[in-house]
Structure 1
Amino acid sequence: MNARSLTLRNVNKSYDGVHMAADDVSLDIKAGEFVSFLGPSGSGKTTTLMMIAGFQHPTSGEIRLGERAIDNLPPHKRNIGMVFQNYALFPHMTIADNVAFPLRMRGVSKPEKERRSREALAKVGLQGFEKRIPSELSGGQQQRVALARALVFEPDIILLDEPLGALDKALREHMQVELKRIHKDLGVTMVYVTHDQTEAMTMSDRIAVFNQGRIEQIGTPDEIYFAPKTRFVASFIGDSNIIEASALGDGRFETAVGVVEARATGAERNSRADLLLRPEMIRIADAAQPDRRPFKIDTTINYGDNLLVIGKLGTQAIRMRVPGVDARRLTGSSECHVTWRSEDIHVIA
């Protein structure tokens, strides 16, 4: 399977000359990487994907696939595979013919089409399904047919536009595992658009977080989750407590919950900052711990394996996740004491 790097340089897209659907988007995707575009609706992630595919043209900027500029090439000359949310299968064609369709458009001989169609279906675990039609398959199977069709002509890169959005939770989770397996086995470059944080965190080598047409941050799932660079990324990814603070120097901050210590930072004294404290980093404190803080419990939500506790530290609204094994300690409580480590506080620059 081919794999090419993808480069976007200062790519802009405006439909009306005023509002930017994509605003100075630049990124480098290495050959064989799995990169997700993550963001809310209208953030520019799908517009950017459509420009890579060739279905939209940039207002300005450059897109390169490997060493080749593809800005002005039509979609069929870019050697890019595309998987859509709605599968886009031909209902009257057999599965084999659906998968072989890109080869038919390229004038590949019948024996070669049949061979490569069988191989592509085997890669997605659908060998033996060649003679069926789409209506005889489940949603997950149809999505795998769409993926096989994107793989069959050995593209340089595969683009996936929210391909699991129409599937139920269990099937979606199964397909996440399958997509990661296929990516690992084939080594093809994949760019995946989603608004689902779990999908992006589960499958991606790196995640590009979009907001209002711009990439706010690109990094590994761990970097995005534990070291967000902006308040938007911190609040959009996962559950978060964002605490406004004033720097006292030496990694100490004045906040609504009192003085808080964080990992060493270069924050100047009296400068403003946002502190990120993930709910799972907060722990119930033992009576002997000197740094414990009183926590007033307002609401608890039982998820089985963990308890979401919503309440206040001083005047600061706080969310805390308690593992199921420790949740019993809070039964019937209206108050407890909590603690965390200074290294669990992330200072958002």
Structure 2
Amino acid sequence: MPLPTNMRFVDLPSFGGPEVMRIGTGHVPVPGEGQVLVRVQAIGINRPDVAQRQGTYPPPKDASPILGLELSGEVAAIGPGVSGYSVGDKVCGLANGGAYAEFCLLPIGQVLPFPKGYDAVQAAALPEALFTVWANLFQMAGLTEGESVLIHGGSSGIGTTAIQLARAFGAEVYATAGSADKCKACEKLGAKRAINYKSEDFAEVIRAQTGGHGVDVVLDMVGAAYFEKNIASLARDGCLSIIALLGGAVADRANLAPIMAKRLTVTGSTMRPRTLEEKRAIRDDLLSQVFPLLEAGKAAPVIHRTFAFEDVVEAHKLMETSSHIGKITLTV
């Protein structure tokens, strides 16, 4: 199929609520060195997309200004220096922006094949969560078999992925969520105990569940509001891994003494500023360590709802309610 000159994309003429987004028309991008052009079939929606739309998460200077960090589809064109992929191959990947469009460029080190048996929607729901969870929970925090982990936001796209992967790799999993239904979903995915943060003190529950020992790792997307309780929930030599700051970035008057007393590690990262080489290393680990689990049915993306591309405003409105369990996706 010949490439068109123009494509539809989600335009953001101004920052604000979901209603500021429009379907616009622009030029189809041309793949450069080490890039493939993907004809997009499905798109995953993520919290950073919402933040970028609101004007609080600007893209890097070398990234596409178009929203969207993950997608699936077919390779439509190949840039110089690319090997291992052919036009027509079904792929998904982590985009440096630009996924909310009919065509999107992907660096070759951020491209993944469809897992066996997956369709476009399932594949589009994988990259952002897999890259984030693998880098923070396994590479940086070093979660291993026999350890325990507390995963905040357990019913989110990140959380549902983290619960399944942690369980698949032999960890004991605890999670927090904001309703009885969400807690039930977390436990169904493999959490030993899900904690309703609206009615329970998660630090007290973790203390009781672990006999006062605490967990080895906390994966946190809340930030300042949870900082001291996260520290209290950790066992000696434990690690707090911070991946988002939904509850604030500044922990006023936090008591740092337990970090020293328990020899704790506090780490954090964002995915977007990582180098191409760093993202490629994560991609390679995912192919060798995680894809066999996906293809064996030991982990899978949880899809809450799929919208048509033209209904992106409604999809963002749903994301902002936080009522979903798992991923929200678009089909093109």
Provide the TM-score with structure 2 as the length reference. 0.26
Task: Name the structure where strand makes up a greater proportion of residues.
Answer: 1
Instruction: Give the greater-gyration-radius structure (CA).
Output: 1
Provide the TM-score with structure 1 as the length reference. 0.25
